[in-house]
């Protein structure tokens, strides 16, 4: 079917024609973009075309592209959200933020009292104690929810977990050896808070459940795509996935359906196998791809997180004196992998949080490119939160792109100023302005489920650079304009995925992936970006309306 | 309905973490341990199958990231999958006697050891740190890795100096002296091509084995190490025994005993500075074994030292 959609405003992200009001779609692609004056010509060339006015009062944009998220976002909605900020669930329900530990406990207690089988483990996620003036959650708090079944609360960072005494007793924690990963109170008693993956391990051992399993089950994929649709995302990444044998077939069955509202780009976890086998696995995945499912990227995680003090920072390291972080891959090993994948012609995305890790990764990429020159490799640094201008200059020279974790400015900006890196370095955190000025291709991301998947919110963060308490990080040179931010969540991300000839802008011949907004972001301006309502999306021209919104 | 695991069940798995930089000989050591398991059922969790040249006669089957051996199995896990792989292993029935985790070259072994603290069925036997004699200077000064390197040495309950044959003898001695100065209580041993008595790395076998009075194989001496065993009858208090063993630091690498005191029967496990007592509900054999450096006191002195105070 061929349709002309009339809109109040179309922001195309195509410099030849930045603004339009009508868009014609045929066979899953964009046939034409223009105004009411063009309709007669389109009809005579390609007609008949049906004119649809469902979105006549709406703004259309290229479908948003999330260049760094994880399928786990789809899994976590099986559990109960207890974060500080409101968060929209896959069915459009707004889960209100819980503003105190007591609120979290009361919310879980209510769930416990009304669910079918109160002996099942009760798992919650998204908790973040940094907003509670130093008070930490204890096992006794969670015993108020229930002491008769396992109760576990996973923190927003995914790296800390609180357990109730049911779990603590099962694991015999009171008699446990001293470990810096078990938080203890002043009297030396374990509080119920566990660092790293220890808490998740205990919860899994106690409940005999694999809480993180089913990471690519059809249900998880469905939920993931629904969260994406609610926020206007038409192409989303899963960064990364070990893609065990057979997973590619199962994923494709779900993703291929026209009712599945999302294109999925899976990054293969490069170090899940030794270099040679890893390249072979990646090669084997290539003919398993389709228009909607890609296995086009290889992902590496080279260091940890800044707020978890596991990122690798250059001197003077952490502001609070914490020891420098961890390498997740040896620098030599990273070089070996990057060289093997560069030789084989696969684009690599490398997680580098700290500036030392960014430098080491650039060294490794430079060595790989000396050995196997490749002008359009588009290797991309993911997060890359502490990069300096010198790093951006070097990326430009090497042809390396960047995908910045702009949401950090809001969620952890205050912490970075006060604790992890101090005001100067926090001022240039996720420096999108510097990145663009130095000519480095830019995308920005949420790292969902670490922070909420919502490209317009991510754009708001990069434009305004405000922490959650309203403190500004850096100045004008680090900010980007609304237009630049909108480009970053569409064409910028498409470029980083090597999909910019297919998606990312509304121009003739590209896929009909469109985000339908209640208001025009250019008109709304910087401060209102995050509050624009997403009406729905089109993927390959198929309309997917959001729950809880009127078209 | 989910089921709550009987986490406090009697069966315990001993956990040994092998750490050390890339190329320090972790894989060679693991290979040796898997071929010389001496009846132990071992599960090994490794980073990379590729490098592990598993004796084909040991392999029963391979399925995905798991290789079944006649005496155990090898699982492969990378980075953040360690937690799930470990949970999977601890769900096996029957459980292995011993779990060896080969940490990645840049892992913080204390993070891995922490799992044993919250799993009552997992007993940390020790962290074994391999120190590459040929690359020590390089690693200790690496601009990006030196802090990790020192952290691994710091975390080690036993330091194994690998590749001593690749450098001048005086260089090895210098390294050993340096490590002894910075870590006076951490025992050291040399290891060549992964060859080391399994008792040193994994400890002496389970209680049921040590009850028999078979003398230790002479291979301990072949490796330039010393051993001593005796029957200690009568009561020997845990505190006193701990003191006596500690007095032999750093020349003692391993000790194991099945003994009793006024509180009842107990097993003692000693691995590189860590002492662990376990209550037993069997009649103890009184068997006691030490493995250490040639600098250990002679048999007569040891007999005098460990003589029980009462009967």
**Per-residue pLDDT of chain B in tens (311 residues, 90 and over written 9):** 344 455 656 678 999 999 999 889 998 899 888 888 778 889 999 876 666 666 677 777 777 677 888 778 888 776 557 888 899 899 888 899 899 999 988 888 998 999 998 898 998 999 999 999 999 999 999 999 999 999 999 999 999 999 999 999 999 999 999 999 999 989 999 999 888 888 888 876 554 444 444 555 556 677 778 888 888 888 889 999 999 999 998 888 888 888 899 999 998 888 877 888 888 887 888 888 888 888 899 888 998 998 765 44
Confidence band for A40, pLDDT divided at 50, 70 and 90: very high
Pair (B221, B85) in one structural domain? no
The reply to whether B182 and B241 lie within a common domain is: no
User: Parallel, antiparallel, or unpaired for β A442-444 and A160-163?
Assistant: unpaired
Position B7 in a domain: no
E-only strand ranges, A171-292: 182-184, 190-195, 233-241, 263-269
Predicted confidence (pLDDT) per residue in A400-422, tens digit: 999 999 999 999 999 999 999 99
Q: What percent of chain A has pLDDT over 70?
A: 98
Query: Do the chains contact at A330 and B105, CB–CB below 8 Å?
Result: yes
Last residue of some domain: B145, B176, B200? B200
Give the pLDDT mean for A144-160.
Answer: 92
Among B166, B200, B234, identify where a domain stops. B200
Q: Convert the pLDDT of each residue in A203-250 to its tens digit.
A: 888 887 777 665 668 899 999 999 999 999 999 999 989 898 888 998
- Identify the burial level of B228 via C-beta atoms within 10 angstroms of its C-beta, where 0-12 means exposed, 13-18 middle and 19 or more buried: buried
- Residues B69 and B113 grouped into a single domain: yes
- Mark yes or no for CB contact A182/B117 under 8 Å: yes
Check CB contact of A182 with chain B, cutoff 8 Å.
yes
Domain count, chain B: 2
Residue whose entry in the numeric block shows the structure tokens 């490398």: A350
From the CA of A208, how many Å to the nearest CA of chain B?
A: 6
- Strand bridging mode A514-517 / A534-539: antiparallel
Share of chain A above pLDDT 90, in %: 84
Question: Is residue A156 predicted with pLDDT exceeding 50?
Answer: yes
B contacts of A201 (beta carbons < 8 Å): 83, 86-87, 115, 118-119
Using the Cβ of B165 and the Cβ atoms of chain A, whether some distance falls under 8 Å is answered with: no
Q: Smallest Cβ distance to A181: which of B3, B111, B120?
A: B111
Query: Residue A466 gets which letter from DSSP?
Result: B
Q: Under an 8 A CB cutoff, do A178 and B117 touch?
A: yes
C-alpha distances out from residue B176 to A197, B44, B130, Å: 35, 29, 12
User: Rounded to a whole number, what is the distance in Å from the CA of A330 to chain B's nearest CA?
Assistant: 6
Q: Is residue B248 part of a domain?
A: yes
Contact A274 B50 (CB under 8 A): yes
Cβ-proximal residues to A235 (8 Å cutoff; 6+ apart), any chain? A63, A64, A65, A66, A262, A263, A264, A265, A493, A494, A497, A499, A503, A513
Residue B213, pLDDT score: 45
Residue A173, pLDDT score: 86
Does A150 contact chain B (CB < 8 Å)? Answer: yes
All residues of chain A having their beta carbon less than 8 Å from the beta carbon of residue B10 are: none
Cα A550 to Cα A232, B36, B64, distances in angstroms: 15, 70, 49
Q: Decide if B84 and A204 are in contact by the 8 Å CB cutoff.
A: yes
A209–B2 CB contact, under 8 Å = yes
CB contact under 8 A, A326 and B80: no
* Domain end marker among B140, B172, B200: B200
Q: Say whether B118 and A176 touch across the interface (CB within 8 A).
A: yes
Domain boundaries, chain A: 73-207, 218-503
Which residues in chain B have their CB less than 8 angstroms from residue A206's CB?
4-5, 7
Residue B83 covered by a domain? yes
Chain B residues in contact with A150 by the CB 8 A cut-off are 4
What's the mean pLDDT when you consider all of chain A?
94
Q: Are residues B22 and B149 in the same domain?
A: yes
Which residue of chain A has the CA closest to B110? A179
pLDDT tens per residue across span A283-318: 999 999 999 999 999 999 999 999 888 999 999 999
Tell me how far apart the alpha carbons of residues A365 and B86 are, in angstroms, rounded to a whole number. Answer: 33
Any B CB within 8 A of A116 CB? no
Q: What long-range pairs does B209-215 form, CB within 8 A, spacing at least 24?
A: B209/B39, B210/B256, B210/B257, B210/B258, B210/B285, B210/B287, B210/B289, B211/B258, B211/B285, B211/B287, B213/B285, B213/B287
With CB atoms and an 8 Å threshold, state whether B51 touches A274: yes
Q: Which residues contact A387 (CB under 8 A, 6 or more apart)?
A: A355, A358, A381, A395, A402, A431, A434, A435
- Which residues on B lie below 8 Å from A272 (Cβ)? 78, 81
CATH number at residue B66: 3.40.50.300
Rounded to whole angstroms, how far apart are CA atoms A368 and A362? 10
Measured from the Cβ of residue B256, the count of other Cβ atoms closer than 10 Å reads 23
Q: What gap in Å lies between CA B228 and CA B289, rounded to an integer?
A: 6
CA distances (Å), B126 to each of A338, B50, B270, in order?
34, 26, 9
* CA–CA separation, A414 and A423 (whole Å): 9
pLDDT of residue B1: 35
CB contact under 8 A, B79 and A271: yes
CB pairs under 8 A between A and B: 126
Nearest chain B Cα to A121, which residue?
A: B2
Integer Cα distance of A222 and B123 in angstroms: 41
ipTM over 0.90: no
For residue A248, count other CB atoms closer than 10 A to its CB. Answer: 20
Candidates A188, A190, A204: best to mutate against B (most CBs of B within 10 A) is A204
Q: What whole-number distance in Å separates Cα of residue B194 and Cα of residue B163?
A: 9
Write out the residue range of the structural domain in which residue B179 sits: 13-200
- Comparing B117 with A32, the larger pLDDT belongs to A32
Instruction: Pick B1's closest partner by Cβ from A119, A202, A330.
Output: A119
Round to whole Å and give the CA distance between B295 and B120.
Answer: 36
> Residue B225 sits in a domain of what CATH number?
3.30.1220.10
Q: Is residue B6 part of a domain?
A: no
- A201, A242, A312: residue with CB nearest B86: A201
Is B3 a member of any domain? no
Residue A464 to residue A442: CA distance in whole angstroms: 17
Looking at the fold, whether B84 and B180 belong to one and the same domain comes out as yes
Q: Give yes or no for residue A330 having a pLDDT over 70.
A: yes
- Which residues of chain B are within 8 Å of residue A324 when distances are taken between CB atoms? 147
pLDDT at B82: 86
CATH fold for domain A218-503: TIM Barrel (3.20.20)
- Of residues B27 and A548, which shows the higher confidence score? B27
A545 contacts chain B (CB < 8 A): no
Task: Check pLDDT > 50 for residue A279.
Answer: yes
Distance between CA atoms of B120 and B115, rounded to whole angstroms?
Answer: 10
Closest residue to B7, CB basis, from A205, A212, A332: A205
B111 sits in which H/E element: helix B109-118
Interface residue of B118, B124, B151 to substitute, partner A, most A CBs within 10 Å:
B118
The answer to whether residue A551 scores a pLDDT higher than 60 is no
- Bridge partners (DSSP) of residue B130 are B20, B160
Its CATH architecture, for the domain A73-207, is: Roll (3.10)
Q: CB–CB of B28/B105 below 8 Å?
A: no
Residues B53 and B125 reside in one and the same domain:
yes
Within an 8 Å CB–CB cutoff, is residue B218 touching chain A? no
Tokens at residue B128, please?
């074994």
Q: What is the pLDDT of residue B7?
A: 61
Q: Which pLDDT band holds residue A331 (cuts at 50, 70, 90)? A: very high
Q: What is the pLDDT of residue B272?
A: 76
B66 touches chain A (CB under 8 A): no
- When pLDDT is cut at 50, 70 and 90, the band that residue A53 belongs to is very high
The answer, for A196 touching chain B at a CB cutoff of 8 Å, is yes
**Same domain membership, residue B136 and residue B24:** yes
Residue pair A225/A238 in contact by the 8 Å Cβ criterion? no
Q: A172 and B120 in contact by Cβ < 8 A?
A: yes
Residue A45 has pLDDT above 80, yes or no: yes
Look at B114 and A196 and tell me if their CB atoms are within 8 Å.
yes
Question: Any CB–CB contact under 8 A between B5 and chain A?
Answer: yes
B83 to A328: CB separation less than 8 angstroms, yes or no: no
Tell me the chain B residues in contact with residue A331 when contact means C-beta distances shorter than 8 Å: 144-145
Q: Are residues B32 and B176 in the same domain?
A: yes
Residue B63 contacts A where some CB pair is shorter than 8 Å:
no
Query: Looking at beta carbons, which residues of chain B come within 8 Å of A239?
Result: none
If you average pLDDT over residues A112-121, what whole number do you get? 94
B173 and B265 in a single domain? The answer is no
Nearest chain B CA: its distance from A546 CA (Å): 34
Of A205, A277, A327, the CB nearest to B87: A205
- Residue A531 has a pLDDT of 96
d(CA B67, CA B58): 10
Partner A contacted by B166 (CB < 8 A) = no
Residue pair A204/A171 in contact (Cβ under 8 Å)? The answer is no
Query: CA of B115, closest CA in chain A: separation in Å?
Result: 6
Interface of B with A in 109-128 (CB under 8 A): 110-111, 113-120, 124
Q: What is the chain B residue with the closest CA to A303? A: B106
Mean pLDDT of A430-443: 98
Q: Are B213 and B143 contained in the same domain?
A: no
Do B251 and B119 share a structural domain? no
CB contact under 8 A, B78 and A271: yes
pLDDT at residue A547 tops 90: no
């Amino acid at each position: 079917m061929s349709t002309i959609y009339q809109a109040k405003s179309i922001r195309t992200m195509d410099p030849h024609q930045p603004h339009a009001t009508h868009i014609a779609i045929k066979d899953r692609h964009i046939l034409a973009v223009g105004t009411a004056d063009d309709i007669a010509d389109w009809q005579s060339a390609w007609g008949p075309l049906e004119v649809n006015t469902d979105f006549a009062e709406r703004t259309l944009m290229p479908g948003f592209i999330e260049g760094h998220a994880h399928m786990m976002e789809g899994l976590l909605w099986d559990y109960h959200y207890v974060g500080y900020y409101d968060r929209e669930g896959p069915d459009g329900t707004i889960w209100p933020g819980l503003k105190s530990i007591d609120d979290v406990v009361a919310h879980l207690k209510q769930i416990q009292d009304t669910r079918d089988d109160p002996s099942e483990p009760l798992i919650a996620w998204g908790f973040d104690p940094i907003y509670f003036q130093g008070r930490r959650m204890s096992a006794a708090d969670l015993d108020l929810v229930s002491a008769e079944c396992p109760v576990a609360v996973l923190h927003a960072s995914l790296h800390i977990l609180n357990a109730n005494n049911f779990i603590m007793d099962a694991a015999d924690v009171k008699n446990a050896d001293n470990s810096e990963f078990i938080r203890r109170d002043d009297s030396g008693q374990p509080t119920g808070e566990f660092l790293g993956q220890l808490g998740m391990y205990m919860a899994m051992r106690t409940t005999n459940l694999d809480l993180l399993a089913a990471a690519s089950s059809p249900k998880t994929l469905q939920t993931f795509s629904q969260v994406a649709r609610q926020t206007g995302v038409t192409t989303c990444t899963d960064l990364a996935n070990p893609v065990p044998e057979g997973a590619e077939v199962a994923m494709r069955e779900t993703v291929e359906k026209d009712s599945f509202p999302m294109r999925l780009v899976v990054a293969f976890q490069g170090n899940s196998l030794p270099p040679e086998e890893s390249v072979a696995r990646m090669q084997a995945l290539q003919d398993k791809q389709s228009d909607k499912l890609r296995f086009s990227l290889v992902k590496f995680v080279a260091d940890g997180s800044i707020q978890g003090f596991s990122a690798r920072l250059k001197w003077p390291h952490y502001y609070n004196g914490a020891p420098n972080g961890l390498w997740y891959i040896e620098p030599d090993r990273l070089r070996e992998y990057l060289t093997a994948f560069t030789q084989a012609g696969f684009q690599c995305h490398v997680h580098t949080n700290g500036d030392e890790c960014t430098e080491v990764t650039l060294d490794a990429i430079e060595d790989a490119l000396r050995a196997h020159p490749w002008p359009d490799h588009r290797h991309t640094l993911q997060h890359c939160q502490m990069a300096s201008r010198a790093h951006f200059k070097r990326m430009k020279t090497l042809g390396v792109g960047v995908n910045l974790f702009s949401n950090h400015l809001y969620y952890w900006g205050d912490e970075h100023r006060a604790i992890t890196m101090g005001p100067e370095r926090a001022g240039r955190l996720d420096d999108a302005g510097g990145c663009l000025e130095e000519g480095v291709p830019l995308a920005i991301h949420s790292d969902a489920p670490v922070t909420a998947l919502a490209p317009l919110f991510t754009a708001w963060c990069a434009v305004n650079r405000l922490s959650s308490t309203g403190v500004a990080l850096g100045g004008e040179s680090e900010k980007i304009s609304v237009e630049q931010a909108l480009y970053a969540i569409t064409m910028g991300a498409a470029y980083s995925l090597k999909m910019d000839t297919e998606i990312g802008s509304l121009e003739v011949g590209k896929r009909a992936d469109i985000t339908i907004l209640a208001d025009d972001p250019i008109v709304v301006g910087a401060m209102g970006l995050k509050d624009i309502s997403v009406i729905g999306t089109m993927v390959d021209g198929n309309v997917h309306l959001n729950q809880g919104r009127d078209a | 309905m989910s089921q709550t695991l009987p986490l406090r069940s009697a069966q315990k798995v001993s956990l040994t973490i092998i750490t050390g930089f890339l190329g320090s000989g972790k894989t060679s050591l693991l290979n040796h341990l898997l071929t010389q398991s001496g009846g132990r059922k071992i599960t090994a969790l490794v980073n990379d199958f590729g490098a592990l040249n598993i004796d084909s006669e040991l392999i029963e089957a391979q399925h995905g990231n798991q290789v079944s051996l006649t005496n155990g199995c090898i699982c492969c896990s990378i980075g953040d999958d360690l937690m799930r792989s470990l949970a999977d292993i601890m769900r096996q029935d029957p459980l292995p006697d011993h779990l060896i985790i080969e940490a990645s070259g840049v892992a913080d072994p204390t993070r891995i050891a922490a799992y044993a603290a919250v799993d009552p069925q997992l007993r940390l036997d020790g962290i074994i740190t391999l120190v590459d004699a040929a690359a020590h200077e390089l690693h200790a000064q690496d601009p990006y890795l030196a802090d990790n390197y020192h952290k691994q040495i710091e975390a080690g309950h036993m330091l194994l100096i690998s590749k001593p044959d690749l450098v001048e003898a005086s260089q090895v001695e210098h390294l050993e002296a340096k490590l002894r100065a910075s870590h006076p209580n951490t025992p050291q041993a040399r290891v060549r091509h992964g060859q080391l008595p399994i008792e040193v790395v994994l400890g002496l076998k389970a209680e049921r084995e040590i009850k028999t009075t078979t003398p230790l194989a002479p291979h301990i001496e072949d490796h330039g190490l010393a051993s001593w065993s005796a029957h200690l009858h009568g009561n020997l208090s845990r505190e006193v025994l701990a003191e006596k063993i500690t007095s032999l630091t750093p020349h003692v690498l391993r000790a194991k005993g099945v003994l009793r005191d006024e509180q009842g029967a107990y097993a003692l496990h000693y691995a590189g500075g860590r002492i662990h007592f376990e209550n037993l509900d069997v009649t103890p054999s009184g068997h006691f074994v030490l493995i250490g450096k040639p600098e250990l006191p002679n048999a007569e002195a040891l007999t005098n030292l460990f003589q029980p105070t009462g009967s």
